[in-house]
Homo-oligomer: A and B are copies of this chain.
Amino acid sequence: MNLADLETPALVLDATVMEANIARLRGRLRPLEVALRPHVKTAKSIEVARRCTAGEPGGITVSTLAEAEYFAGNGVRDMLYAVGIAPNKLAHVLDLRRRGVDVAIIADNLEQARFAGEAARAAGERLPVLIEIDCDGHRAGVKPDDPALVPLGQAIEAGGCALMGVMTHAGSSYNCRSTAAIEAVAEAERAAVVIAAQRLRAAGLAAPVVSVGSTPTAMHARRLDGVTEVRAGVFVFFDLVMAGIEVCKVEDIALSVLASVIGHQSDKGWAITDAGWMALSRDRGTASQPLDQGYGLVCDADGRPLDGIIVVDANQEHGILAHRSGDPAMLPRLPVGTLLRILPNHACATAAQYDAYHVVRRSRAIETAWSRIRGW
């Protein structure tokens, strides 16, 4: 099988590029002496997860219980469900634990601690809980110096759960504009969880796990003293948002969407393809970056970028390609039927539109297909 044998659009994964990405992050983390707990929300594929964890300790991070079920079904036994627990998911988490899957949850408030404690006691389990720490005002979590932190840890223990430690996610690292800025966010991320863990320990609570994670901070943290594990997901594939903040190069992007040219509006300098926002996702993450890549950067079928050609607009099943200057003369000849590969703004969002990866290795030959899952 070859890329030319596929119906378009289709999702293409260059496994050689992906393996280099995995090796690069592992190589970074080894001297920092922390475990990698890959966040499988990006790839949602056991084949990719196995390549992240091979030969190294540490489980995985999941963003949905559908992921938890799928990876459990594929033999993974150690998982952190890294979205603040909703009461209606506790029975499912406890059912996974009954089936031998060590799922830990996260919480940042007393109401969650109470719901989790009630469910755990009813199930006769000490459900492991990490407290979510807010390191950058980005989303959820308790500030490391919040007076509510220690009482929350005590309530988790007293309510019937097991306080395992703390975790945070430096979501603001995605908005950095320089490596120095990412390094500063990484240090703030590290300091936030280390301080929170110290406060819990000073109050007599165990907090063995000190977990941080975002791809930019994982790639640029200068030290991780006091941290026990790093969660990161996008690093396996990378994407244009990561390239835009110089966390990777464009040639490190392992994921692309195979598309066909179906027509032209020559007066406008447009080529029309069959990869719209359903195929590329609606993510416009580069819109706020210095170099706006539209709905994606256009490459030839071998993955080489076409100079300055981006997806300038998208409808559900149509993409509109043009030169970023808007100059019609700058659009290369792209006859109907031309196969293109479009690099995504955000790997997590684009991959989510597909049920399988077509795996290549720096060629158009398809080596295999890897399934992926979705839903909740």
If the complex has contacts A84-B263, A349-B282, are A354 and B337 also in contact, measured as CB distance less than 8 A? no
**Bound state CA distance, A105 and B274, in angstroms?**
14
If the complex has contacts A83-B318, A140-B318, A317-B64, are A115 and B41 also in contact, measured as CB distance less than 8 A? no
Proximity bits, A108-121, B CB within 8 Å = 1, else 0? 11011001000000
If the complex has contacts A7-B376, A84-B272, A112-B263, are A318 and B355 also in contact, measured as CB distance less than 8 A? no
Residues of B close to A263: CB separation below 8 A: 84, 108-109, 112, 140
- Smallest CB–CB gap between A124 and chain B, Å? 22
Interface residues on A, range: 35 or more
- Smallest CB–CB gap between A353 and chain B, Å? 8
One of B112, B261, B353 near A336 (C-beta < 8 A):
B112
Proximity bits, A1-27, B CB within 8 Å = 1, else 0? 000101111100000000000000000
**Bound state CA distance, A354 and B262, in angstroms?**
28
**Bound state CA distance, A284 and B287, in angstroms?**
13
Q: Give the copy number.
A: 2
CB <8 Å contact, A111 and B335 = yes
- Smallest CB–CB gap between A141 and chain B, Å? 8
Q: Does A63 contact B (CB under 8 A)?
A: yes
Proximity bits, A275-303, B CB within 8 Å = 1, else 0? 00111011110000000000000000000
Proximity bits, A255-279, B CB within 8 Å = 1, else 0? 0000011111100100010100111
Can you name 10 A-B pairs with beta carbons within 8 Å?
A: A6-B88, A7-B89, A41-B317, A83-B318, A84-B272, A87-B336, A140-B318, A171-B315, A279-B376, A316-B349
